[in-house]
DNA sequence: GCCGATACTGAGCGAGCGCTTAGCGGGACG
DNA sequence: CGTCCCGCTAAGCGCTCGCTCAGTATCGGC
């Protein structure tokens, strides 16, 4: 098992860059609420309540409810991209790099399911500008994975009919983990990561 | 290309069982609105407006907004289950049956993306009872696919490490098509169905 | 001890929500 | 022609939403 992402010490890690403390607590509260109920079904009163503050306190640190979602989405996507870049740029053959990328990416979606859910499924609730910014990050994620697969095909290590379609399917498979993964279920994030790395190597016809 | 589901003549087909006409128009309007904006962001005024009626008309045919989602969800899941059952029970070896199941299922998710989106992603907006009913249908879908994979393993046609996990991954891959598929994109539903059937046969190590 | 800045609260505004109700209009039947 | 029924509308009720703002407690600097 590799370490393309630091093993999270809990769902609330990785928000260290958010200051001051009250702003971070509000952001974490928003992630939990959005993941549980969805963006539109979450009230600003609920977010503030989870952070132990009055409804009005939210507006000292964030201009609107949507700004919270935007910040969460950007930080989350940057993290996802970083995970894929680290795996794509490590030493080793295409098969090792792809397996590392998939298992790391899946581990992040499973272990940080709360965050990943918001990041991957609440995109449509953003306004056009914020949405466009996030979509650019997604295209970069796509490019990282496609790069590994193209390397594998060029090296003769992979046997792929449709590189673009297979890339999309691989990412889709990983992302959907955030929808179904259950912490109380039969698998650990590591186990799903290993299983998925194996499945993806089969999908690309790795030798 | 097989015909495990009838080729849809448009997104609004398959609602023929809903009567009277006004109730069906409201249901179709609700599917479109829920798919575009999500359940919680859709207003009853919007649904009624799309159906060309006043807000109050909705409540003659449906008790609540949630009943609309429940009806859509049940009809959609029954359709999905029927598609998988038809493929699972046709003649042919496990590989053919699995390929048929995946391509039909994917075609339905891509071609009827509007409906599939609501069916697959708005489940959490249902109340506990309706939710439980729908989850039972989902378990039946899972069982159909797992059955084919188990047949393939028993016959020595497939090479699978973790049948349960692989089943989940296959279904997850198909379902996520509803999230990313775009009618204006580079693929037709048929093309995605074929690509995915190939990918899934690789995942199960079909000979 | 006083001042201003900072972080927060209590109360509440205007808007829009899901849903209800009184009543209207037109077809079926005598 | 009169009567009832029924699908539908106009109006609006009670409520909660995102968000605002005047006021308060706390703290560092002097």
In angstroms, what separates the C-alpha of A19 from chain B's closest C-alpha?
A: 31
Separation between Cα atoms, residue A70 and residue A63, nearest integer Å: 11
- Tell me, what's the pLDDT at A11? 61
Separation between Cα atoms, residue B46 and residue B182, nearest integer Å: 24
User: Given a cut of 80, is residue A125 above it in pLDDT?
Assistant: yes
Q: Please state the rounded mean pLDDT for residues B35-59.
A: 94
- Asked if residue B127 keeps its beta carbon closer than 7 A to nucleic acid strand C, the reply is no
* pLDDT tier for residue B3 given thresholds of 50, 70 and 90: very low
User: Given a cut of 50, is residue B7 above it in pLDDT?
Assistant: no
- Tell me, what's the pLDDT at B19? 78
- Asked if residue A65 keeps its beta carbon closer than 7 A to nucleic acid strand C, the reply is no
In angstroms, what separates the C-alpha of B199 from chain A's closest C-alpha?
A: 5
- Tell me, what's the pLDDT at A13? 65
**Domain B69-203 adopts which CATH fold?**
Tetracycline Repressor; domain 2 (1.10.357)
Instruction: Report the 10 Å Cβ neighbour count for B19.
Output: 10
User: Given a cut of 70, is residue B10 above it in pLDDT?
Assistant: no
Inter-residue contact A53 to A26 (CB < 8 Å): yes
Inter-residue contact B113 to B183 (CB < 8 Å): yes
For residue B179, which residues of chain A lie inside 8 Å, CB to CB?
Answer: 121, 172, 175-176
Structure tokens given for B187: 């693929």
Side-chain-side CA neighbours of A43 within 13 Å: the count stands at 6
Three-class SS state of A155: coil
Q: What are the phi and psi torsion angles at B77 (to 5°)?
A: -70, -35
Strand C nucleotides, any atom under 7 Å from protein beta carbons: they are: 7-12, 16-22
* For the segment 51-90 of chain B, residues whose CB is within 7 A of strand C: 55-56, 59, 63-66
Separation between Cα atoms, residue B116 and residue B14, nearest integer Å: 12
User: Given a cut of 80, is residue A2 above it in pLDDT?
Assistant: no
Encode A36-102 in three state secondary structure.
Answer: HHCCCCCCHHHHHHHCCCCHHHHHHHCCCHHHHHHHHHHHHHHHHHHHHHHHHHCCCCHHHHHHHHH
* pLDDT tier for residue B13 given thresholds of 50, 70 and 90: low
* pLDDT tier for residue A14 given thresholds of 50, 70 and 90: confident
User: Given a cut of 50, is residue B159 above it in pLDDT?
Assistant: yes
B51: left (phi over 0), alpha (psi -120 to 50) or beta: alpha
Higher pLDDT, A19 or B193: B193
For residue A121, which residues of chain B lie inside 8 Å, CB to CB?
Answer: 121, 179
Taking only the tens place, the pLDDT of each residue in A31-75 is 999 999 999 999 999 999 999 999 999 999 999 999 999 999 999
> Closest nucleotide to A59's CA, by C1' atom?
D19
Nearest to B180 among A166, A168, A177 (CB): A168
Taking only the tens place, the pLDDT of each residue in B134-143 is 999 999 999 9
Q: Is B182 on the interface with A (CB under 8 A)?
A: no
Contact B165 A192 (CB under 8 A): yes
Structure tokens given for B54: 């006043």
Mean pLDDT (chain B) is 92
User: Given a cut of 70, is residue B155 above it in pLDDT?
Assistant: yes
- Tell me, what's the pLDDT at A8? 45
* pLDDT tier for residue A12 given thresholds of 50, 70 and 90: low
Separation between Cα atoms, residue A76 and residue A153, nearest integer Å: 30
User: Given a cut of 90, is residue A207 above it in pLDDT?
Assistant: no
Higher pLDDT, B207 or B102: B102
* pLDDT tier for residue A18 given thresholds of 50, 70 and 90: confident
Q: Which residue of A has its CA nearest to B177?
A: A172
Distances (CA, A) of A27 to A20, A44, A46, A64: 11, 11, 12, 12
Strand D nucleotides, any atom under 7 Å from protein beta carbons: they are: 7-12, 16-22
Q: Is B35 on the interface with A (CB under 8 A)?
A: no
CA angle B118, A69, A18 (to 5 degrees): 150
Give me the count of residues in chain B. Answer: 207
Taking only the tens place, the pLDDT of each residue in B66-88 is 999 999 999 999 999 999 999 99
- Tell me, what's the pLDDT at B52? 93
Contact B173 A168 (CB under 8 A): no
- The b/e string for B33-48 (b: 16+ C-beta within 10 A; e otherwise) is bbbeebbbbbebebbb
Taking only the tens place, the pLDDT of each residue in A145-161 is 999 999 999 999 999 99
For residue B205, which residues of chain A lie inside 8 Å, CB to CB?
Answer: 202
How many percent of chain B have pLDDT more than 70? 94
For residue A37, which residues of chain B lie inside 8 Å, CB to CB?
Answer: 124
Side-chain-side CA neighbours of B96 within 13 Å: the count stands at 10
- Tell me, what's the pLDDT at B147? 97
Separation between Cα atoms, residue B99 and residue B93, nearest integer Å: 10
Q: Please state the rounded mean pLDDT for residues B51-69.
A: 94
Q: Which residue is nearest to nucleotide C20 (CA to C1')?
A: B56
Nearest to A202 among B173, B180, B205 (CB): B205
Contact A161 B198 (CB under 8 A): yes
User: Given a cut of 60, is residue A179 above it in pLDDT?
Assistant: yes
**Domain A66-203 adopts which CATH fold?**
Tetracycline Repressor; domain 2 (1.10.357)
- Tell me, what's the pLDDT at B17? 81
User: Given a cut of 60, is residue A20 above it in pLDDT?
Assistant: yes
In this structure, the dihedral spanned by the alpha carbons of residues B200, A147, B175 and B69, taken in order and rounded to 10 degrees, is 180
């Amino acid at each position: 098992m590799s370490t393309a992402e630091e093993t999270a010490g809990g769902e609330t890690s990785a928000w260290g860059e958010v200051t001051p403390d009250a702003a971070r607590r509000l952001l974490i509260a928003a992630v939990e609420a959005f993941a549980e109920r969805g963006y539109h079904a979450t009230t600003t009163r609920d977010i503030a309540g989870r952070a132990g503050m009055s409804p009005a306190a939210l507006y000292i640190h964030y201009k609107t409810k949507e700004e919270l979602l935007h910040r969460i989405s950007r930080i989350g996507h940057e993290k996802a991209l970083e995970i894929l870049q680290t795996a794509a740029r490590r030493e080793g053959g295409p098969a090792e790099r792809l397996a590392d990328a998939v298992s790391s990416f899946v581990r992040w979606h499973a272990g940080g399911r709360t965050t990943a859910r918001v990041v991957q499924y609440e995109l449509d609730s953003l306004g056009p500008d914020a949405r466009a910014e996030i979509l650019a990050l997604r295209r970069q994620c796509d490019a990282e994975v496609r790069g590994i697969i193209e390397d594998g095909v060029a090296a003769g290590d992979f046997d792929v009919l449709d590189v673009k379609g297979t890339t999309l399917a691989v990412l889709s498979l990983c992302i959907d983990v955030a929808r179904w993964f259950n912490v109380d279920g039969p698998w650990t994030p590591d186990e799903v990561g290993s299983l998925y790395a194996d499945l993806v190597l089969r999908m690309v016809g790795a030798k």
